[in-house]
Chain A
């Protein structure tokens, strides 16, 4: 199947970051069409009808999320764009803001109009220097043209957009942790409920949407919900930017309708490196279970991957070939979760460290068979008792590596001549600083 570029239609056009070029390519038509001619409720209805699901990883229905906002129009409401892209293997938001920043600005204007928010924030990860510079210019240009500010075009609707830099924390991508960070605190998650739509930023109703989600709103307003629904498959409508990294010939972003077979996504990236065979891939960033050779025809959509005990997540494929060492991969990923655990809850803070220590021992040739069941026990108790989804996401990449490639772990364990007498691994202090 050839690529279907909607969000990525103009990312290679020179000058796309500037408003003249963006407008020449049809940019801000959706804003001109909608504001003030179409009532906000109608746009909300279109988004609901389109079946658009959040592109930040969880796949929650965007229209449903918006519907959770209280109805009173007098209440201040906020729109927050989650641009804290930090899930390993994920690099679509970087592309969208560096190559077509106005598309995001337009999506924010339309979404803010729909939910009646007069202040919107873009929370960008602090390391996105180029993307933030592009967004800053885009917001200024949109202001000069009257698309942002007060009022917008001929309507009474006004909107300010604040570009806010993060400072390096994976957990800030969790929406309530993001709100804490945006309020000037540590990025630790909040207890839900109340959900942000009821009590979010500064305790006010707030919608947090991913960059790619908001970009989709532009095209839904331009072409309608029916058009959007005609792409992809039922419950998985629209296109998705698949990001492919790891051991393929042409790593990069490729846009396809949801539901495309895994095999075709891999083919788009040029297939495996010369002389190499596909071994496995994480299909949705690192926080999901591995897919293997028997999954090549699986449909890349939210339901199918969930039924396979994996997840579409951010549709970020980390691809491994037959040369990849799965023990090393598992160890490296667990180090990531340990480093990024915010420390708020004990199961995640201690559990991720414990698992890093166990995996390090296995990789160093000092592991035991008991270590494998210990990893499973720690994973399941961590996932069952942790405060937020970080620790829940830390379990499947490791558990699936053990499940699918147990012989590789056993190969390392056999290097330990005393594997039978080695005592069970206890978490040790002080922590190793990684």
Chain B
């Protein structure tokens, strides 16, 4: 169940736009921030707030990369796999992070702390090889820095 506070925020967002449906993507961000992911139940709740069929919501959730239908880790690690990063060791960075966390790309660690995802270009190619941990862009990531960056992420430094 979405909290009353989030629901109120969503209703306020709806009033911001000339047409309330424009608030749908920002609203799904809010819902996901609270619930961690967008379960069928959460999607239904959002659908009710917008007076839309739940299928309409699902069409949006399944289209955009930032929305999750299944639970993900407490922290998200996006590692860029596009060419600019690949040319500077992006694949090796992915392998190393996965090795350290004992997890496969696209999966969540056993303790539920991290989900590691291969990402398309995140517009920080000057920092290749780069990764984004929660909201924080990191790079160029050196092998020896990874432990420290992951520990920071665990403490929630990148979440702010």
Question: Footprint of B on A, CB under 8 Å?
Answer: 85-91, 93-94, 119, 125-130, 162, 164-170, 181-187, 202, 243-247, 251-253, 286, 316, 318, 320, 324, 328-329, 332-333, 336, 339-340, 342
Once A162-B17, A184-B22 are accepted as A-B contacts, the answer to whether A167 and B123 lie under 8 Å apart by CB is no
Q: Enumerate chain A residues within 8 angstroms of B29, measured Cβ to Cβ.
A: 126, 165, 167
Stretch at the interface among B61-69, B94-102, B144-152: B61-69
Query: Which of B19, B28, B83 is the one whose CB lies under 8 Å from A318?
Result: B83
The 6 tightest CB contacts between A and B, nearest first, are: A168-B65, A245-B125, A167-B64, A184-B24, A184-B21, A129-B135
The answer to whether B135 and A130 have CB atoms under 8 Å apart is yes
Q: Enumerate chain B residues within 8 angstroms of A246, measured Cβ to Cβ.
A: 83-84, 87-88, 125, 128
Please name 8 pairs of A and B residues whose Cβ atoms are closer than 8 Å in the assembled complex, sorted by A. A93-B123, A127-B132, A165-B26, A167-B28, A167-B67, A182-B22, A329-B87, A332-B81
Q: How far is the CA of A122 from the CA of B16 in the complex (A)?
A: 14
Other contacts beyond A184-B19, A251-B126: 13, CB < 8 A: A90-B121, A127-B132, A167-B64, A167-B67, A183-B22, A184-B24, A184-B60, A244-B126, A246-B84, A251-B84, A251-B128, A332-B81, A336-B121
The answer to whether A89 and B120 have CB atoms under 8 Å apart is no
Q: How far is the CA of A165 from the CA of B24 in the complex (A)?
A: 11
**Using a Cβ–Cβ cut-off of 8 Å, how many residues does chain B contribute to the interface with A?**
40
Once A185-B60, A251-B128 are accepted as A-B contacts, the answer to whether A286 and B83 lie under 8 Å apart by CB is yes
- Nearest-Cβ distance from residue B140 to partner chain A, whole angstroms: 9
Once A88-B83, A165-B25 are accepted as A-B contacts, the answer to whether A187 and B18 lie under 8 Å apart by CB is no
Query: Which of A162, A169, A320, A336 is the one whose CB lies under 8 Å from B16?
Result: A162
Q: Enumerate chain A residues within 8 angstroms of B109, measured Cβ to Cβ.
A: none
Once A245-B128, A247-B88 are accepted as A-B contacts, the answer to whether A167 and B66 lie under 8 Å apart by CB is yes
The answer to whether A91 and B86 have CB atoms under 8 Å apart is no
Q: Enumerate chain A residues within 8 angstroms of B136, measured Cβ to Cβ.
A: 129
Q: Enumerate chain B residues within 8 angstroms of A332, measured Cβ to Cβ.
A: 81-83, 86
- Nearest-Cβ distance from residue B63 to partner chain A, whole angstroms: 4
The answer to whether B67 and A85 have CB atoms under 8 Å apart is no
Q: Enumerate chain B residues within 8 angstroms of A185, measured Cβ to Cβ.
A: 21, 60
Q: B17: nearest residue on chain A (CB-CB)?
A: A162
Query: Which of B64, B78, B126, B135 is the one whose CB lies under 8 Å from A245?
Result: B126
Residues B24-79 near A (CB distance < 8 A): 24-26, 28-29, 59-60, 63-67, 78
